[in-house]
A and B are shown apart, each in its own frame.
Chain A
Amino acid sequence: MQDNQMTSEEIVDRYFLEHRAKVLDIAAFLDRIDRSGSKEKDFRIIALLKCIDELQSGDENRTKRILELLSDHSIEPIDVASTKGASGAPPTS
């Protein structure tokens, strides 16, 4: 296992502005959806909001837990692949 070579202050100095911008992008994305006037929340947005809750958790491995939130947890193969694409969130979440 490799130690991170940077101190926490160096990490914040280096990456903070980039991730500040990403949070603003998410906020603007949600605002844009609100302005469209739709009352129904898309399952992908519901999943995204759950991920944002998960970010608030103080525990480690946020990335893994968020990927798991966005995963299909069924075990058996599906009968037929009726599409080729993936949507980024399980339809039931």
Chain B
Amino acid sequence: MSYIDPHIHMVSRTTDDYQRMAQAGCVAITEPAFWAGFDRSSSQGFFDYFRQLTDTEPKRAATYGIKHHCWLCINPKEAEDVGFAREVISIIPEFLDCPTVLGIGEIGLNKNSKNELIILEEQLALAESANQLVLVHTPHLEDKLKGTNLIMDAIDNTSLDPTRVLIDHVEEHTIKSVLDRGFWAGMTLYPDSKCTPQRAADCIEMYGTDRLWINSAGDWGPSDPLAVPKCRLELASRGHSEELINTISFGNPLDFLSKSGKFSIS
């Protein structure tokens, strides 16, 4: 059975990971722009990163039969310097017409600061004016609950259609409000933080599969590029149907990503 990992940072992963993902049934991935683990010294660093996401990485994925798409933005961890962040935002539009760019992401908040919020609002405005899908990063650990609420309020102040916005990294204390407010929700499967495959399976049992996806968010930290097939196995071993497993790990990402008009798995 094929699956899509709709949030993974392949620039931080090896080609061995692409091979293992392909062997496990991965046919497509989407890669949001994120923090590299260090602050870039200039907006030119982002220009090169966007070239890597739109040109280099799709070719590397294609070697393993995996379709690669991406999302562009300045991430909230580098948004505290508003002037710098605006420089980066100014170079995004020239990439938006690339055939594999699906929208603006992963934008959001990190420490829930005033400047992070300003830059979030400016990138929401860009998504609005350029009619782009939005992929949202919610903060880590103790900051998640507050940040998720601030982000949803900020989106509600725009004309963005919540069904064109996916709020990622939800957990048991945020999933219900995200779904109740009409957004799509993503569960990230991490070993030490966010959701484990078992807890994600629990959430699917409690909340169903509507407007919900799972992803590995594999990156340069503790993470697992095979987390999606592991969650599929967890669901299968609990006796869930092939239809449910297919919906959460293939049909739902396909539905949401197709709203971009650019997503394809062939």
Contacts and interface: CB of A to CB of B under 8 A. Distances in A.
Given A63-B199, A80-B115, A5 B239 contact: yes
Interface stretch (B97-105, B137-145, B158-166): B137-145
A71 B208 contact: no
A47 to B, nearest CB: 9
Interface string B183-209: 000000000000000110010111111
The A interface is mostly helix, strand or loop, or mixed, namely loop
Q: What range describes how many residues of B lie at the interface? A: 35 or more
Contacts of A88: 141-142
B172 interface: yes
Interface residues of A, number: 31
A89 interface: yes
Contacts of A77: 112-114, 116-117, 150
Given A67-B173, A71-B144, A88-B142, A2 B208 contact: yes
Interface of B: 35, 77, 80, 110-117, 139-146, 149-150, 171-173, 198-199, 202, 204-209, 238-240, 244
16 contacts: A2-B205, A2-B209, A5-B239, A5-B240, A15-B198, A63-B199, A72-B112, A72-B145, A72-B146, A78-B111, A79-B114, A80-B114, A84-B77, A86-B139, A87-B141, A89-B141
